[in-house]
Chains A and B, each alone.
Chain A
Amino acid sequence: MRKLIFIAALCALPNIASAIDVFACEPEWAALVKEIAGKNADVYTATTAMQDPHQVQARPSLLAHYRSADIAVCTGAELEIGWFPVLMSNGANPRIQTGKPGLFEAFQSVTMLEVPAHFDRAEGDIHPYGNPHIQTDPRNIGKVIAPLAQRLAELDPRHADEYKSRAADFEKRWSDAIAKWSEQGKPLNGVAVISHHKSWIYLYDWLGIKEVATLEPKPGLPPSAAHLEELLDVVKRQPVKMIVRSAYEDSKASEFLAGRSGLPAVELPFTVGADGADDLFKLYQVTIDRLLDALKKGKP
């Protein structure tokens, strides 16, 4: 009997020692998992702040990490539609499939904006579930904390209490930070901007910023010279204060328009890992700081 217990303990040992294997589609969810799970999670991040999460390919390295993961934490809402379905059909991982607890889609915990009433590709690469760039509003991160902690606890019940307490602690610090940023961001309320891509509607919704145009003529189409000329007209007619792009977007178009219009061009991190945005707190602090900075520059 004692021998049996010893063998059983040996078999259980690797499980005790091994962390939960997390495949994070985007860096913000990798950062959130680390906040909630700490050392209990081994986190692989599939994309970086220098990549458009819609445009990466199902590279062999992604397939390899998908194969071994216990859970994938992704935005969903078709943001990863160009590559994640390939992982699901070729990655041979029964744990991460539609309807399995190993597939966590953050978009299901937030209220989606820009859900189109009708779908027509003439409108560009639109997403039927709504605009997928939910992480630009820190309140959406806040909404994902509890469901994500719950899911991690479900998959790794031995550390359930730890996930819950870490999540509660993070949630407290997070809501304090949001209150601070909301206060700091007050001067941005009502400010009109032009964005490179429709990446920021959740950020704008939070801070009350008005997007009057995008550098892309349609979502997913690169800025054209003709469209930039039209935007010069828009700038003359409307009180636009700045041109916003993300760290992974080519700076040429926004710098061109900035040069021609005299408006400041501001590069925002978009996600964790971009210049200055080492963690989730710094991501939004840098975002607010740069927007306020540009607002000052825009007021000569």
Chain B
Amino acid sequence: MPNHPIASRALAVASLAIPIAAFADGGAATAFNPKISLILNGTFAHYSSDAPADMPGFLLGGESDFRPSGLSLGETELAVESNVDDLFHAWAAISIDEDDHVRVEEAYVNTLQLPEGFTLKLGRFFSDLGYQNHQHAHAWEFVDAPLVYRAFLGGQLGDDGAQVRWVAPLPVFLDAGIELFRGAAFPGGGDRRGGIPAKSVFVHLGDDLGPSWSYRIGASYFATNGENRRTGDPIETSFTGRTRMAGADVVFKWAPNGNPTQRNAVLQGEFYRRTEHGGVIFDPDGFADASAYDGRQWGFYVQGVYQFVPQWRAGVRYDRVHAHNTLDNPEGDSLALLADDMGRDPQRWSAMVDWSHSEFSRVRLQYNRDESRPNRVADNQVFLQYIFAIGSHPAHSF
């Protein structure tokens, strides 16, 4: 009988009666409202080089531009979440970028009542492939995305679609999922988005290692295609072909006796391999230099962040990507850049320190020695960033 929807709703109301009664007048009205939070973030950025943010061996797309030089407002993110009813939970994150463009970052419903460890997610969401990909930018440990995310995924993979996920009934954590996407997100995109142009599969395994350590490891595979996908500004480059990506991710967390309040550490790394096969056209509406294109690329990052006293953390990161591409006709700027894999892999060293007065505020100073441009020209980058959260208390996934 408790499974009858009416009965369980009555139970829900009954169980809420005490806290509502505990509120002063007016409190009851807010008890049913969704959780709402607003993330404010802003950056001061300095770059020693003002050369374009190109990366040899890659056509960049998605959100791969550097943050604007000088003072700028980053993405302002409004997140709203709530149970829809006893079967569904909904989450939406709307962001407004520094140029006042409003974007739906995520908007999905997920199931709460499917049996046997299954969950279904529908809508727009960040893919669960890898480790950092599902985290919103304000939860990242560094101001910017790893180079491998920037080069392979345009910063982060989020798309419209559906996800089926299964959590195994085991004493260790094991989950696996499959995602079907519209294929609008970089490195896919362009025309003909019918059918299921993009899909991913992922698996994660995790557990504790004694009282102070925990880990999660994962593997993922992603396939998509582009059909006259345009990237580049002001002169565009078109890509038509398929992209395959496979990777592994690992995160270890440490906190003495599992208590992160005083000191804790997070070590994480991800490795991806990507192949692309198809054709590219430089300036399709002008010069229209066309070439066949075969790409074999890999990239990784490793990073560690250590909270040495309450409120203060320091971290380092190393990034590297590698491309080995074949183009039969590398004419035109972007195609010459794509063909440029002279053994000088783009790489970057980063160090950061951040201070969090409370769970709701964070200020971060970061230095990058960025050698991701052609010929490994060094760019010394300095960022000062703030991230503030107002509204309901956040819950963070591992």
A residues apposed to B, CB below 8 Å: 47-48, 50-52, 55-61, 63-65, 67-68, 77-78, 81-86, 88-94, 97-101, 105, 108, 112, 115, 117, 121, 124-125, 128-130, 154, 218, 220-222, 248-250
Query: Which B residues have a C-beta under 8 Å from some C-beta of A?
Result: 2, 8-9, 11-12, 15, 18-19, 22-24, 27, 83, 86, 89, 110, 112-115, 117-119, 165-175, 204-208, 211, 214-216, 253, 257-262, 310-311, 357-360, 390, 393-398
Given contacts A59-B398, A67-B169, A86-B397, 11 further A-B contacts (CB under 8 A): A57-B253, A57-B398, A60-B207, A60-B398, A61-B206, A63-B398, A64-B167, A64-B174, A82-B359, A89-B110, A98-B86
**Cβ-closest chain A residue relative to B208:** A61
Residues of B within 8 A of A84 (CB): 395
Q: Which 4 A-B pairs have the closest CB atoms?
A: A60-B206, A99-B12, A60-B173, A50-B257
- CB contacts (< 8 Å) of B174 on chain A: these are 64
User: Would you give the shortest CB distance from B110 to chain A, in whole angstroms?
Assistant: 6
Contacts of B211 in A (CB 8 A): 48, 50
Closest A residue, CB atoms, query B263: A250
Q: Which residue of A lies closest to B311 (CB)?
A: A222
Are B310's CB and A51's CB within 8 A?
no
Given A51-B259, A97-B112, do A125 and B393 touch, yes or no (CB 8 Å)?
A: yes
Q: Are B395 and A82 in contact (CB under 8 A)?
A: yes
* Chain B nearest CB, measured from A188 CB (Å): 28
A60 touches B397 (CB 8 A): no
Chain B neighbourhood of A99, CB < 8 A: 8-9, 11-12, 15, 86
With a CB–CB cut-off of 8 A, which chain A residues contact B310?
A: 222, 250
CB distance from B198 to the nearest CB of A (A): 23
B207 touches A64 (CB 8 A): yes
Bound-state Cα–Cα, A58 to B394, Å: 12
Partner of A55, one of B118, B167, B259: B259
Please give, as numbers and ranges, the residues of chain B lying within 8 Å of A108 by CB-CB distance.
15, 18-19
Contacts of B11 in A (CB 8 A): 99-101
- Asked whether A64 lies within 8 Å of B170 as measured between CB atoms, the reply is yes
Q: Distance in Å from the Cβ of A21 to the closest Cβ of chain B?
A: 10
* CB contact between A130 and one of B22, B173, B260 (< 8 Å): that residue: B22
Residue pair B24, A57 in contact (C-beta under 8 Å): no
Give the docked Cα–Cα distance between A68 and B173 (Å): 11
Nearest CB to that of B309 among chain A residues? A222
- Complex CA–CA separation, A77 to B259 (angstroms): 21
Residues in A with CB closer than 8 Å to B22 are: 112, 115, 129-130
CB contact under 8 A between A61 and B214, given known A67-B117, A98-B12 = yes
Chain B nearest Cβ from A214, distance in angstroms: 15
Across-interface contacts of B165 in A (CB, < 8 A): 92
Of the candidates B18, B27, B173, B390, the one whose C-beta lies within 8 Å of that of A121 is B390
* Partner pick for A64 among B171, B260, B360, B390, CB 8 A cutoff: B171
Select B113's contact among A47, A97, A112, beta carbons within 8 Å: A97
Q: A61-B173, A101-B2 are in contact. Are A50 and B206 (CB under 8 A)?
A: no
Are the CB atoms of B359 and A220 closer together than 8 Å? yes
**In the assembly, what is the distance between CA of A98 and CA of B11, in Å?**
9
- The reply to whether B169 and A100 form a contact with Cβ atoms under 8 Å apart is no
Instruction: Give bound CA distance, A125 to B259, whole Å.
Output: 18
Instruction: Contact check, B262 vs A250: say whether CB atoms are below 8 A apart.
Output: yes
Beyond A86-B395, A94-B113, A125-B393, whether A60 also contacts B216 by CB under 8 A is yes
Kindly list chain A residues whose C-beta atoms are within 8 Å of the C-beta of B207: 60-61, 64
Question: Residue among B119, B207, B253, B397 with the most chain A CB within 10 A?
Answer: B397
In the assembled complex, the CB of A248 is this many whole angstroms from the nearest CB of chain B, namely 6
A48–B396 CB distance below 8 A: no
Cβ–Cβ < 8 Å partners of A91 in chain B = 167
Contacts of A64 in B (CB 8 A): 167, 170-174, 206-207
Cβ contacts A to B, 9 pairs, < 8 Å: A58-B397, A60-B204, A64-B172, A68-B170, A86-B397, A88-B112, A90-B167, A100-B8, A222-B310
| Contacting pair B117 A92 (CB below 8 A) | yes
- Is A94's CB under 8 angstroms from B360's CB? no
Residues from chain A with Cβ under 8 Å of B175 in the complex: 63, 92
Q: Nearest Cβ distance between residue A162 and chain B, in whole angstroms?
A: 21
Least Cβ–Cβ distance between A187 and chain B, in angstroms: 33
Contact A60 B167 (CB under 8 A): no
Cα separation A129 to B19 with both chains bound (whole Å):
6
Contact A63-B18, Cβ < 8 Å, known A88-B112, A99-B12, A125-B393: no
* Residues of A contacting B390 in the complex (Cβ-Cβ under 8 angstroms): 121
Closest chain A residue to B119, Cβ basis:
A92
Q: Which residues of B contact A222 (CB under 8 A)?
A: 310-311
Q: How far is the CB of B209 from chain A (nearest CB, A)?
A: 10
Query: What residues on A are CB-neighbors of B86 within 8 Å?
Result: 97-100
Q: Is the CB of A78 within 8 A of B171?
A: no
Distance between A229 CB and nearest chain B CB, rounded to angstroms: 18
